């Protein structure tokens, strides 16, 4: 006989609190587990739960625990469970044989759940390792390339500036000024590469993330107004204190907002928010959301690559997000990119708060 452990605390449920799973329901769960796409899983789960009100009630309680809010319909529970079926069942489903012996489904389903859970765990770990190794390799490439390019570039800029000071012909002066200007622009790009590869040591101290974001927004307001873009800022009512390098962190936030301004080009709006996360009160979250062209699947795969530009796809990434990622991860934080339902893009920066700030 198969049972589901209590949804609130799967690891420690008394035998009397366990929910028995009938064989037909168990077969439906197995079919949902074998499905390769979410719509099929939802359909099979809905069919299986419709046969058993007790299992439906268990799914709704599990969804409430997972979502941290009330779940009023079985459809909500099914939609949530379909996205975490293997890991949720792997911790909740147990098998106990009765006097008549264990049924075939009682033997197959736990083994299937365990295999799928292990497979998903290995897949997640592999993707995380792959992303980490890719970024580490790019850091070394960026550091080496920066050194090799920076020296001749500095020589070009210095020579152009010297010739410009001695030049009396206006036309030649304009050409020399263009050479110097472009050399300095390339130098700034090299500086961004160096920041990605080997950022300076953090000069950390207590700082209120709200004030940091307010200062960055104030600096960019004039540029936003020039392109008729509306900047809206909503800050947490209480201080959110970080132990951070305020200068570098301001560079990270600045880079993301500038990226949104470039994506919009003209018009549109950008919403910046600072809050304390609901899921974990020990973190602050900075969100930058725009109503621009959004991020395609192709661009999404290269979001944090310093050598990739999404300008052809309608979004000029440049070094902005890679620079932001480097600074935020050095602070022990996370950078997440979302595609809102209504369009545009949202970048969320999460940073650990000082423990006693709450």
pLDDT of residue 178: 92
Provide the pairing of β-strand 269-276 with 230-234: parallel
**How many residues comprise the chain?**
358
Asked if residue 293 is part of any domain, the answer here is yes
Residues 191 and 248 in one domain: no
Question: Is 349:252 a contact under the CB 8 Å cutoff?
Answer: yes
- pLDDT, one tens digit per residue, over 113-158 is 666 666 666 766 676 677 677 767 767 777 777 777 878 888 898 8
From its phi and psi, is residue 228 left (phi > 0), alpha (psi between -120 and 50) or beta? left
CATH number at residue 182: 1.10.287
The DSSP call for residue 17 is: G
- What's the Cα-to-Cα distance from 216 to each of 93, 201, 237, 258, 262, rounded to whole Å? 50, 22, 18, 10, 16
DSSP string, 232-257: EEE--SS--EEEE-HHHHHHHHHHHH
Whether the pLDDT of residue 98 is over 50: the answer is no
Instruction: Quote the domain boundaries for residue 225.
Output: 205-357
Same domain, 30 and 67: yes
Grouping H, G, I as helix, E, B as strand and the rest as coil, residue 354 is: coil
Residue 172 and residue 52 share a domain:
no
Instruction: Give residue-wise pLDDT tens across range 47-77.
Output: 988 888 998 999 898 888 888 888 888 898 8
Instruction: Say which residue, 36 or 333, is predicted with more confidence.
Output: 333
**Phi-psi map region of 212: left, alpha, beta (phi>0 left; psi -120 to 50 alpha):** alpha
Do both 186 and 209 map to the same domain? no
Q: Which of 100-104, 121-125, 260-264 has the lowest mean pLDDT?
A: 100-104
| Shared domain check, 31 and 68 | yes
What values do phi and psi take at 128, rounded to 5?
-65, -45
Residue partners of 322: CB distance under 8 A and separation at least 6: 196, 304, 305, 306
> How many domains does the structure of the chain reveal?
3
pLDDT value, residue 213 = 94
Residue 85 vs residue 195, higher pLDDT: 85
Task: State the average pLDDT for the chain.
Answer: 80
On whether both 352 and 209 belong to a single domain, the answer is: yes
109 inside domain: no
Do residues 323 and 218 both lie within one domain? yes
Give residue 306's pLDDT band: very low, low, confident or very high (50, 70, 90): low
In this structure, are 48 and 75 located in the same domain? yes
Last residue of a domain, one of 197, 226, 251: 197
DSSP H or E run through 41: helix 38-50
pLDDT the model gives residue 211: 94
Asked, for residue 107, whether it belongs to a domain, the answer is no
Q: Is the pLDDT of residue 258 over 60?
A: yes
The token pair that represents 202 in the structure block? 């953090």
Is the pLDDT at 107 greater than 70? The verdict is no
CATH at residue 291: 3.30.565.10
Sign of the CA dihedral running 300, 303, 307, 310: positive
């Amino acid at each position: 006989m198969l049972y589901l452990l209590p949804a609130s605390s799967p690891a420690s449920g008394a035998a009397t609190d366990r929910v028995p799973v009938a064989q037909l329901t168990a077969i439906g769960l197995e079919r949902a587990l074998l499905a390769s796409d979410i719509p099929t899983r939802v359909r099979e789960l809905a069919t299986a739960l419709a046969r058993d009100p007790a299992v439906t009630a268990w799914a709704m309680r599990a969804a409430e625990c997972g979502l941290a809010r009330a779940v009023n319909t079985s459809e909500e529970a099914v939609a949530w469970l379909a996205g975490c079926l293997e890991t949720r069942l792997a911790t909740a489903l147990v098998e106990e044989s009765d006097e008549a012996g264990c049924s075939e489904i009682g033997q197959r389903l736990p083994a299937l759940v365990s295999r799928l859970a292990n497979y998903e765990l290995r897949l997640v770990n592999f993707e995380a390792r792959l992303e980490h190794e890719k970024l580490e390799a790019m850091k070394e490439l960026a550091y080496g390339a920066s050194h090799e390019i920076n020296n001749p570039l500095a020589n070009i800029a210095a020579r152009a500036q010297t010739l410009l000071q001695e030049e009396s012909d206006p036309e030649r002066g304009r050409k020399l000024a263009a050479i110097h200007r472009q050399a300095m622009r390339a130098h700034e790009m090299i500086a961004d590469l160096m920041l990605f590869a080997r950022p300076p040591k953090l000069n950390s101290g207590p700082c209120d993330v709200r004030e940091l974001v307010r200062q960055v927004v104030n600096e960019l307001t004039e540029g936003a107004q020039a392109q008729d873009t509306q900047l809206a800022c909503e800050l947490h009512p209480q201080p959110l204190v970080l132990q951070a390098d305020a200068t570098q962190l301001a560079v990270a936030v600045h880079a993301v907002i500038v990226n949104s301004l470039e994506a919009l080009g003209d018009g549109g709006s950008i919403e910046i928010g600072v809050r304390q996360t609901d899921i974990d009160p020990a973190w602050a979250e900075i969100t930058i959301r725009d109503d621009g062209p959004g991020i395609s699947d192709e661009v999404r795969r290269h979001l944090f690559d310093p050598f990739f530009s999404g300008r052809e796809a309608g979004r000029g990434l440049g070094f902005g997000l890679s620079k932001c990622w480097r600074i935020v991860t050095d602070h022990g934080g996370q950078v997440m990119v979302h595609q809102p339902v209504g369009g545009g893009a949202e970048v969320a920066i999460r940073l650990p708060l000082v423990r006693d700030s709450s």
